[in-house]
Chains A and B, each alone.
Chain A
Amino acid sequence: MATAALHPPTSTGLDSRKLGFWIFLGSETLFFASFISAYMVYKGESVVGPYSAEILDIPLTTVSTFVLLMSSLAMVLGLAGVQQGSRKNSLLWLGVTIVLGATFLAFQAFEFTEFYHHGLTLQTNLFGSTFFILTGFHGAHVTIGVLWLMILWLQALRGKLGPEKALNVEIAGLYWHFVDIVWIALFTLIYLIQ
């Protein structure tokens, strides 16, 4: 209990940072819902190509989806490492999470480049506008997550990420898993249900 005094007393008995972050994630659901709504409403309304069915690469995106799902697994293992005070496991699994997150971003960059070469841009048609805005904002969230995890990884490397800092990692993990569940929805709504 040496680390018990982590935050001042609260009426709920819960850490205000964690509660505040859950409220933030709640607001993020509405943020993504607005872009998902736009995508779904304009689905099939493009009057010029390329159309979604012609251009979406299901096998490629399946692999990137698998990569992001596994990054969530690595994230919880990293959190467990920090909670257990294992610097080795913290570094390993947070590092794996960063690598998998960066790999997902590389897949997305490749996909966007391919679409551009096929003539699909933000201005081409309704599919291009809604697709790039929706997946682009998701990619921006992943990028922020990777940078956040890199900061935590560097702290772990310097031996400054002990069990007393586990809540910092848990909150970063909440963000990371949220990005993952958003992609779970996007993968189905954009790629599989055409």
Chain B
Amino acid sequence: MAAEHGHGMTPHEGAQPGAGAHAGRPDQAGHVDPAHAEHEHASIKTYLLIGLILTVITAAEVAIFYIPAIADTSWLAPILITMSLGKFVLVVMYYMHLKFDSRIFSSVFVAPLILAVTVVISLIILFKVLPTYL
């Protein structure tokens, strides 16, 4: 089925799926079944639900921005970053199908993403936080 959708398993391997491994996860013997590696996607209903959730979170973010009781406190940034992270994860997991695809795709994306976030946080600490203590 994945091959029908062009999601990429080899015809040979697709015809002889390994036993016991599903959804691209290794089985007990460490074998990955490529036939199940990346073919299941979310339903249309799920896509619509995710779209609704993204809209609600965005509206909530902007509402929080205009509420002085929150906006004027140090809680604003952590709350907004958490909400953005939620949107980010929803899009990556469902719209980009990482929840259903092979973990190899997740690995090659998340590893540099972690490095990127580390770079941003390190530079902020180096240039904005540390100078206040020196």
Contact = CB atoms under 8 A, between A and B. Distances in A.
- The A interface is mostly helix, strand or loop, or mixed, namely helix
Contacts of A73: 47-48, 50-51, 54, 95
Given A34-B119, A73-B47, A174-B96, A184 B10 contact: no
A31 B88 CA distance: 17
Nearest to A42: B127
Interface residues of B, number: 60
A12 B102 contact: yes
A164 B65 CA distance: 46
B123 interface: yes
Interface in A5-43: 5-10, 12-15, 17-19, 22-23, 25-27, 29-30, 32-34, 36-37, 40-41, 43
Given A15-B7, A18-B8, A163-B4, A23 B108 contact: yes
Interface of B: 3-14, 32, 34-35, 37-38, 41, 44, 47-48, 50-51, 54-55, 58, 61-62, 65, 76-77, 80-81, 83-84, 87-88, 91-92, 94-97, 102, 104-105, 108-109, 111-113, 115-117, 119-120, 123-124, 127-128
Interface of A: 1, 3-10, 12-15, 17-19, 22-23, 25-27, 29-30, 32-34, 36-37, 40-41, 43, 58-59, 62, 65-66, 69-70, 72-73, 75-77, 80, 83, 163-168, 170, 173-174, 177-178, 180-181, 184-185, 187-188, 192-193
